[in-house]
């Protein structure tokens, strides 16, 4: 009889140990989900939202070009923004410096404030600068849409510069509205589109996305930058670029973000 009691007692201990082990596994699994699973899910959510904002910037950039080039007087873009970021326009965020020479004589030397519309979050940032769309991550930036700056024929260069002249911002995490309008019609950098012939050109871009600008200018115009800033916020001056004809025109847009 005592032997039967002992067997029943061992059986009870076994059940208690089993329940304890199962409970411990459940608690451990829940802890791992909170420690690793939820942050991973949040990271995936943030990345997906960021990609959505990136697609919205493609539409925004198209609207900016339409207004700048007089194809539409006003355009309004609605943009779904991710939580924890900021959407803003800044007229001083991107600066283009030019030196233009004809027959060895300096004809122009000035810096043009192009500005930008930018969304910045913990994932990365996206900007519209001078008709270009650039995405930046911790590893560097990538130009998804190129600006209207190109070379054709026998060293004929065209710069269509789009300038953002307003500063405004909106908190993210919902639907933001961006209104682009044209305060003036075809206001040129030199009052009228200036044409230079048989000369030389030097370029410098100061921007948080200067590494992308350096790659674009190198690919399109053969520009070589040997003194880029260590923090990649300036391309530095490029080596001289020869041209047969150079045309530079500036278009101005007003931007309101809310």
Domain ranges of the chain: 51-257
Rounded Cα–Cα distance for residues 200 and 238 (Å): 12
Rounded Cα–Cα distance for residues 126 and 129 (Å): 10
Rounded Cα–Cα distance for residues 88 and 254 (Å): 13
N-terminal to C-terminal alpha carbon distance within the chain: 84
Question: Under DSSP, is residue 213 helix (H, G, I), strand (E, B) or coil?
Answer: helix
The structure tokens listed for 174 are: 């919902």
Rounded Cα–Cα distance for residues 258 and 256 (Å): 7
pLDDT at position 16 is 64
Q: What is the pLDDT along the chain (258 residues), one digit of tens a residue?
A: 555 544 455 555 566 666 677 767 777 777 666 665 555 555 666 667 788 888 999 999 999 999 988 888 899 998 877 677 889 999 999 999 999 999 889 999 999 999 999 999 888 999 999 999 999 998 889 999 999 999 987 789 999 999 998 888 886 667 888 999 988 654 444 445 788 999 999 999 999 999 999 999 999 999 999 888 888 899 999 999 999 999 999 889 999 988
The pairing of beta strand 168-171 with beta strand 125-129: unpaired
């Amino acid at each position: 009889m005592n032997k039967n009691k002992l067997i029943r007692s061992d059986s009870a201990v076994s059940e208690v140990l089993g329940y304890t082990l199962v409970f411990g596994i459940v608690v451990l699994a829940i802890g791992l989900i909170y420690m690793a699973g939820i942050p991973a899910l949040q990271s995936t959510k943030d990345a997906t939202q960021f990609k959505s904002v990136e697609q919205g910037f493609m539409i925004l950039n198209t609207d900016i070009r339409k207004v700048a080039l007089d194809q539409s007087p006003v355009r309004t873009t609605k943009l779904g923004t991710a939580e924890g970021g900021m959407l803003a326009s800044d007229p001083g965020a991107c600066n283009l410096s030019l030196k233009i020479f004809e027959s060895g004589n300096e004809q122009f030397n000035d810096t043009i404030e192009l500005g930008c519309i930018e969304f910045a979050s913990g994932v990365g940032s996206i900007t519209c600068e001078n008709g270009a769309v650039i995405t930046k991550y911790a590893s560097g930036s990538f130009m998804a849409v190129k600006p209207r700056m190109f070379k054709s024929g026998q060293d004929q260069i065209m710069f269509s510069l789009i300038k953002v002249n307003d500063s405004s911002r909106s908190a993210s995490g919902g639907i933001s509205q961006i209104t682009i309008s044209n305060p003036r019609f075809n206001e040129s950098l030199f009052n009228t589109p200036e044409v230079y012939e048989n000369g030389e050109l030097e370029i410098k871009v100061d921007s948080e996305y200067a590494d992308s600008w350096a790659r674009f200018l190198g690919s399109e115009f053969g520009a070589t930058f040997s003194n880029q800033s260590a923090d990649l916020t300036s391309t530095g001056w490029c080596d001289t670029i020869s041209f047969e004809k150079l045309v530079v025109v500036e278009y101005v847009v007003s931007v309101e973000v809310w």
